[in-house]
Amino acid sequence: MEKDKISKEETHLIAPCGIYCGACDSFLGKSKKLASELYKILEGFNLTDVGPVFLGATQKQIKTFLKLLKKIGKNPKCLGCLGGGGNPMCPMKLCTKKKGILTCAECDEMPCPPNDADLENPLMSKAGMLHLISRRYNKWNIENLKKIKKDGYRKLIDEMQEKVRDGFLTSDVISKEKIFTEVMEKMEKKKK
């Protein structure tokens, strides 16, 4: 897999599940910067005063929107899953750490096929979480893992960095399905 051909900082560009963190806006911080700029402009424009007249939105809606923009602008940048960002309790992150590997590409079980128990509580199992992430990213992460397995980390990083320079973001491959929302709603129903 040519791990010796990548730096420690470059390992932060790839998540254990195959997501390329280096193309994620949370990692790049573009929306954080834009949200801060937009908040400053709209707050300076006193949007809560003129918004109801010109936008047909209530002051409450405008205040909620501005509060959200301000929060996005203050959110810290993600450091990448292997750089200390992401979910520290992610089952795949914990599994790869335990096995002493960077990504699932190095594992003989990749991709972990989920069983019924994994799908019942997918947030708590590596196979269930990989299944959810693969649905969310339209299997792009699995394709990345296959590329790593075939060509190594260096080639994937170089190819992805070029795509990012050309404007690619992970949001280009994310599904419009409400995958995690469905899981959370299902878990809430079980509690009742």
Residues 117, 174: one domain? Answer: yes
Residue 56: both structure tokens together: 């047909």
- Give the SS3 label for residue 14: strand
Residues 96, 176: one domain? Answer: yes
Domain count, the chain: 2
Residues 17, 35: one domain? Answer: no
Residues 110, 140: one domain? Answer: yes
Residues 85, 46: one domain? Answer: no
Q: Residue 98's pLDDT is what?
A: 94
With beta carbons less than 8 A apart as the criterion, state whether 20 and 160 touch: yes
Residues 51, 101: one domain? Answer: no
Residues 24, 86: one domain? Answer: yes
Distance CA 1, CA 62 (A): 50
Report the DSSP beta bridge partners of residue 14. Answer: 20
Residues 148, 171: one domain? Answer: yes
The pTM for the full model equals 0.85
Residues 36, 120: one domain? Answer: no
Residues 156, 124: one domain? Answer: yes
Range of the domain at 60: 30-76
Rg of the chain over all Cα atoms, to the nearest angstrom: 20
Residues 127, 165: one domain? Answer: yes
Full pLDDT tens readout for the chain, 192 residues: 788 899 999 999 999 999 999 999 999 999 999 999 999 999 999 999 998 998 989 999 999 999 999 999 999 989 999 999 888 889 999 999 999 999 999 998 887 887 888 778 888 888 889 989 999 999 999 999 999 999 999 999 999 999 999 999 999 999 999 999 998 998 888 887
Q: Residue 18's pLDDT is what?
A: 96
Residues 68, 148: one domain? Answer: no
Q: Residue 1's pLDDT is what?
A: 76
8-state DSSP, 77: P
Residue 36: both structure tokens together: 């801060």
Q: How far is CA 140 from CA 66, 67, 135, 173, 175, in A?
A: 33, 33, 9, 7, 11
